[in-house]
Amino acid sequence: MSFVINIGKFCLTILYGILKLFPSKENKVLFLSRQSDELSLDFSMLKEELLRQNPDVQIIAICNRLDDSKSGLVGFAADTLKSMYHLATSEVCVLDAYWPAVSLLHHKDKLTVIQMWHAIGKIKKSGYQTLGKESGRGEQIAKLLHMHENYDIIIAGGKAWNPYYCASFHTTENKLLNIGLPRIDHLLQSEEANRKAALKAYPELSKKQVILYAPTFRRNMELNWQNLLKEIDFHKYILIVKGHPNQKIECKRDGVLLCPDFKAVDLLAVCDYLITDYSAIAVEGAVLGKKTYYYLYDYEEYTEKNGINVNPFESMPGCAFKDAGELIRDLESGKYNQQALDEYRRKYLPEELGTSTRKLAELIIRNLA
């Protein structure tokens, strides 16, 4: 494997050296995403704001949700080559995950690379924090791939996350900018519109209290949430289930909705309670002040195989449970620990809410030559 990677690096370096002979194009910004095959919410909002602030900005977007199939790998290889030309001719690159060409290659000095990541915080461990773990890469591979190198600026949420960003990206705190992601603005600005849209599509949501269950992605681990179904009183509640895009959930039961046309982040507007686990949607729920519970039935297994940075049993006391029955009984009691949620919001959200998109766009425009 090392030999193959080194040969690949050598070939890409030669090709990139040729591509860098092309001049950089004024006001050209490159978006790179491995989270979706189309522009994510964050990128879409950022694009709109960039063009509002400077109509002359030229935006190129390459989006590829890499899968392990043969066709998926071929497609990503093609997009990698395409990205190399645009890296060589852009003034700013914004990405939301690890992109090999960004970290492997030596770029022009005039290129500014901004890693905005795809979550507001770092609840679960990632990157260099998971080296050698079942969910992470091997140390040798990470070193050969120069994982998460070449970032000039990293967008983060509240400052309490900074040590975990530094550990995940193997970087220093002076590269972090605590402004949060555009989706924070979306949550605040579109809450009522999202609520009305959900109620129009699913009128039954207005008849009972709504619980949104949104678990994280479990790599090489089974998602087991059936015990929640056994404990919820569907005479009182409707349950919306939104799995991670990489982990499909199916359920055919009265009182359970999958809402395929809605993203989990937009369904926060209509829920009374959020149940999650190690997902960053907990931070998004905090933006709207949603009463959040943590169903951590596999806490020991998950912490061993992946690891977490913020322990919900400590950060949200009285709101985290391993047993579904205990969780639902607490939810029904009406004795939610609001003080814990208020402290969580103060600690883990950016100091100023509702300005993330504008600040990120201003940052990009300042770095255009």
Instruction: Write out pLDDT tens, residues 111-153.
Output: 999 999 999 999 999 999 999 888 788 888 889 889 999 999 9
Which H, E and C letters describe the chain, residue by residue? CHHHHHHHHHHHHHHHHHHCCCCCCCCEEEEEECCCCCCCHHHHHHHHHHHHHCCCCEEEEEECCCCCCHHHHHHHHHHHHHHHHHHHHCCEEEECCCCHHHHHCCCCCCCEEEECCCCCCCCECCHHHHCCCCCCCCHHHHHHCCCCCCCCEEEECCHHHHHHHHHHHCCCHHHEEECCCHHHHHHHHCHHHHHHHHHHHCHHHHCCEEEEECCCCCCCCCCCCHHHHHHCCCCCEEEEECCCCCCCCCCCCCCEECCCCCCHHHHCCCCCEEEECCCCHHHHHHHCCCEEEEECCCHHHHHHHCCECCCHHHHCCCCEECCHHHHHHHHHHCCCCHHHHHHHHHHHCCCCCCCHHHHHHHHHHHCCC
Q: What structural domains and CATH numbers belong to the chain?
A: 2-180+353-366 (3.40.50.11820), 189-348 (3.40.50.12580)
Averaged pLDDT score across all residues of the chain: 94
* Tens-digit pLDDT profile for residues 6-15: 898 999 999 9
pLDDT at 243: 86
pLDDT at 115: 98
Q: Is residue 333 scored above 70 in pLDDT? A: yes
Contacts of 267 (CB under 8 A, 6+ apart): 194, 198, 212, 240, 242, 259
pTM reported for the whole predicted model: 0.94
* Tens-digit pLDDT profile for residues 139-198: 888 898 899 999 999 999 999 999 999 999 999 999 999 999 999 999 999 999 999 999
Question: In the structure, what pLDDT confidence band is assigned to residue 369 with cuts at 50, 70 and 90?
Answer: low
